[in-house]
Amino acid sequence: MRLIHECLNTRITRIGLMMLLDTAIIAISYAISFWLRIDLLERAPHFIYDNAYLLGTLPYLVGIRLACGWVFKTYHWSFRHASLDENIDLVVSVGIGSIVLVLLGHFTPLFEAPPPRSIYVMEAAMTYAGMAVLRFLPRYLLAVWTQRLQNNQQDGKDVKRTLIYGVDGPAELAAREILRSHGHNYALVGFLDSNPATWESSIHGVKVLGGLQTLPDILRRESIDQILLPESGLSGHDMRRLVDICSPFQVHLKKIPDYGKILNARGIQHLENLTPESLLDRRPVRFDAVNMDAFLRDKTILVTGAAGTIGAELCRQILRQPVRELLLFDINENGLFFLDAELWEAHPDKKVTLVMGSIRDAARVNQVMRDYCPSVVFHAAAHKHVPMLENAPVEAVKNNVLGTATVADAALAHAVEKMVLISTDKAVLSASVLGASKRLAELLVRSRNGRGATTFLGVRFGNVLDSSGSLVEIVRRQIAKGGPVTVTHRDMVRFFMTIQEAAGLVLVAAALAEGDISVLDMGEPINIDSLVRQIIYLHGLTPDRDIEIRYAGPRPGEKFFESLHAEDETVRPSSFPKINLIDDGETIDADAMVADARRIVANGDGDDARAFFRRWVKDYNAAVTPRVPN
């Protein structure tokens, strides 16, 4: 028995068996076609088309059909995975075989007389039907058997009633894997789709039940446990809506693995949690309309604050361009070390140089500019935490204001082509020390334009979703500890974008250099309380039940709403989508401001620093918001 089993499982044996079965199908189809056409329909003897004619012409037909099947690889399928592509091959194989048969019958002396034309059509149709049943029926029977086996195995188990969002690509592949494989406890109930035209249709015998509009009724009716989604199947707005719909029903959302993970041994069993980035209406930045190659080719690029979140992502994206050398400038020794290791692993052919130092050290900054001669400087180094700087305003003056002045003046002195300041939406209507210091940095770099060969510009944007010390990082850490998760206030909203998009748009704005200050299109602001609840839910937990949420109240310097531009600032579009330009005409005596800042750093205290910001930032509001007790 073992020998017979091994023989049947060899490739040659399987192909030979398929050819033998195909021969039988062809012969039967040919005979039935003659019986229908000659004996049954005409009911008259035809001495030409007798059994001898049938047997004499059959070998030609069988040879043609088998040869076409071999050419179009209909014997090389994995019948378990046979799909539309294989069916097309089968149709083409049968069609080409019929054409060859017609040519032989009518234009060669091989046949005593050509068969009636209807014979070709009937034989081809029956041959195709027989071959299709032979090839696709095993897959169907396997799916039915697997489903029954799953049902038997799942009796008494914690079966997860599952919906899949989408009907194409990874969604359809995931459905096939669920239906035909075992070792999981998913019961596929139906599909969801945004296109109403697909509703009530069936895919692999499973119905498309509806979309987001009808989802609440579906969840109530079908007692769904989880919904599987392709990674890019929904917009951020629809994703947030989906989370809000599913939360009351305790329905969890999981990400469908990519093709590779489904097709390899991991199958569908290892579903992943959705990330907070999926809640944003952000898409990867395409540089097609911007000549990044011309902007960065064969140039030395300096990034200050390279070990920070934005600085590090800028470095990653810069190294995808044909730069000559990338300088990583930061005072954070460990951060530089780990970033360098990451970049070397990803780009071993690129020249990356670590440069330790502080932007507050003018001698060191000038030495770096002199020794390496960078063409472009991305100035990402800054203190950025609002509450901390409220308690240390002198440090904000020292680092964010004077540090920027040091880098800008060094860029001028060493004829750097372009310097790009990374700014923030907190610089608008500044309610915090951080915002005021960043607004002065914007005005400072603007004041340097026209003094030399260097072009200065600032790029302003809102919160980066998963940056170091960001809301998402804090929430994840609090969830890992079992809660509670702290939220400032139910009504607080913020702009968010992904790290990758922020860095990519900074590079685009730098390449365009169409205005002194660029502001990135951040989309619609998002309510912090809703975002936190959705992040908790994406971790498979229920807010207020599994994880407690506490409201701490706004911290000093925090606003309920952020703005990307002030009312007196004119906003105009740039030549690139998602980037706008700010025209406000505001200028200051930057040299006098820098001299005042140096005096504050040398002799002043916190009150002196706040008075400094009130002198130089026209809309600075130093009102301190008291903390609300728990």
The 10s digit of each residue's pLDDT in 243-287 is 888 888 888 888 776 655 555 545 555 666 676 766 665 555 566
List, in sequence order, every residue forming a beta bridge with 202; answer none if it has no partner: 207
- Where b means 16+ CB within 10 Å and e means fewer, 523-552 reads bebbebbbbbbbbbbbbebebeeebebeee
Q: Single out the residue of 91, 547, 507, 116 nearest to residue 313, CA to CA.
A: 507
The pLDDT score that the predictor gives to residue 365 is 96
Tokens of 77: 């399928």
Q: Single out the residue of 228, 172, 170, 229 nearest to residue 203, CA to CA.
A: 172
Residue 555: count of CB within 10 angstroms of its CB: 17
The pLDDT score that the predictor gives to residue 156 is 45
Nearest-Å Rg of the Cα atoms of the chain is 35
Residues of the chain scoring pLDDT < 70? 1-11, 37-51, 76-86, 109-113, 138-158, 180-184, 231-233, 257-273, 275, 277-289, 466-470, 561, 563-564, 622-630
The pLDDT score that the predictor gives to residue 305 is 94
The pLDDT score that the predictor gives to residue 269 is 58
**How far apart, in whole angstroms, are the C-alpha atoms of residue 447 and residue 531?**
39
**How far apart, in whole angstroms, are the C-alpha atoms of residue 394 and residue 575?**
39
Q: Single out the residue of 433, 434, 412 nearest to residue 423, CA to CA.
A: 434
What amino acid is encoded at 475 in this protein?
A: V
Checking DSSP bridges between strand 300-304 and strand 376-379, what pairing results, if any?
parallel
In 247-384, which ranges are continuous DSSP H helix? Answer: 259-263, 292-296, 309-318, 333-346, 362-372
Q: Is the pTM above the cut of 0.85?
A: no
Classify residue 187 by burial, with Cβ atoms within 10 Å: 0-12, 13-18, 19+.
middle
- Residue 60: how many CA atoms within 13 Å on its side-chain side? 20
Report pLDDT digits (tens) over 193-206.
888 877 877 777 78
The pLDDT score that the predictor gives to residue 261 is 54
**How far apart, in whole angstroms, are the C-alpha atoms of residue 120 and residue 60?**
13
The pLDDT score that the predictor gives to residue 466 is 64
**How far apart, in whole angstroms, are the C-alpha atoms of residue 415 and residue 404?**
16
The pLDDT score that the predictor gives to residue 552 is 81
**How far apart, in whole angstroms, are the C-alpha atoms of residue 104 and residue 118?**
16
**How far apart, in whole angstroms, are the C-alpha atoms of residue 57 and residue 97?**
14
**How far apart, in whole angstroms, are the C-alpha atoms of residue 599 and residue 191?**
67
Q: Single out the residue of 610, 475, 489, 622 nearest to residue 538, CA to CA.
A: 475
The pLDDT score that the predictor gives to residue 47 is 47
Tokens of 554: 């706004």
Phi-psi region of 566 (alpha: psi -120 to 50; beta: other; left: phi over 0): beta
List, in sequence order, every residue forming a beta bridge with 252; answer none if it has no partner: 226
**How far apart, in whole angstroms, are the C-alpha atoms of residue 546 and residue 250?**
12
